[in-house]
Amino acid sequence: MNEQASSALRGLTLRHLQCFATLARERHFGRAAGLLSITQPALSNAIKQMEHLIGARLLQRSTHQVELTPIGAAVLERAGFLVHTVDLALQDIAGVVQRGRAVVRVGVVPSASGLLAQAIRGFIDSAPGEVEFEVRDRPSNALIDALRAGELDVAVAAVTQPPSGLSCVELFDDPLVLVVPRDHALARAGSATWRAIAQAQLVLFSSGSMPALAGPASAQFGRIAHTPYRVDYAETLYAFVRGGLALGLMPRLYTTSLVGTDLVVLPLRRPVIQRRVALLYRPGRLRNAVAQAFIEHLRRQLADQPQAA
């Protein structure tokens, strides 16, 4: 970047970035202006100023639509991160000033929420009154997006490979297992193979890590006779199994919260297919030292979980 262009970019303000990020999210000048508590002409002027300073068109405008240009999409990724970081930093300052506590923002896949709760409890007990947590439970892809946008400090997520642009500390493997009624013939065998379930009706999750795991398992799924049911929640999956509609296919970590004795969890072998549960965070300095200390605490507490072996 030449010196003149660099100098122009230094004219960008946080308000420019807030206006652009809000308009890019809403894709409507009226709604964006209302959220920003400014007039539409003021918003339009801010976007024009930003485009002039950057030296490129960020938006394609029409009567009924606002669309990002390719450069606009690239700028939005950086602008959104800066806006989220500043907004959360201001909230952190308010928390310290008003309540004397640092805030740590954590994301977790639902299946690991029990492990995270235990880790948070231990951390709070070691630093009473000094920290508060905001927790977001989402599928792994949503947590990764939130980390990249600066909305979270750290996440416990399921991955098949380390996501680009994030620090990744692999914690433990979480294999796929089969959930069957206790009176099912496979329950008496104590384990199952892909060949043994080739003619069975299965039910599995439609999102999260399951779509990524379907790649390595594609050869096995290709021999399964019936198209699996796809559901979003563990309770629904268990209900299908209890109702005799299907056998459940899911990561083992979900089964740690399984209640009742009417269902049995079986190892699924030949081949063993598994996801990796990992600790993810943005490289570099975090917003506060407490968040960094909590990451180290999570590394110690969650590594090599025996129930996921």
pLDDT, greater one: 131 or 120:
120
| Residues 253-292: tens digit of each pLDDT | 989 878 778 999 999 887 888 888 999 998 877 667 888 8
Torsion of CA 215, 151, 36, 53, to 10 degrees: -80
Q: Looking at residue 5, what is its pLDDT?
A: 56
Q: What share of the chain has pLDDT > 70, as a percent?
A: 83
Average per-residue pLDDT for the chain:
83
Residue 309 in this model has a pLDDT that exceeds 50: no
**Cα–Cα distance measured from residue 14 to residue 114, given in angstroms and rounded to the nearest whole number:** 38
pLDDT band at 308 (very low <50, low <70, confident <90, very high): very low
**Cα–Cα distance measured from residue 128 to residue 101, given in angstroms and rounded to the nearest whole number:** 10
Taking the whole predicted model, whether its pTM rises above 0.85 is answered as: no
Q: What's the Cα-to-Cα distance from 221 to each of 85, 169, 190, 246, 269, rounded to whole Å?
A: 43, 30, 22, 15, 14
Q: Looking at residue 42, what is its pLDDT?
A: 92
Torsion of CA 263, 269, 272, 274, to 10 degrees: -10
**Cα–Cα distance measured from residue 37 to residue 34, given in angstroms and rounded to the nearest whole number:** 5
Nearest to 106 by CA among 57, 58, 155, 60: 155
Q: What share of the chain has pLDDT > 90, as a percent?
A: 21
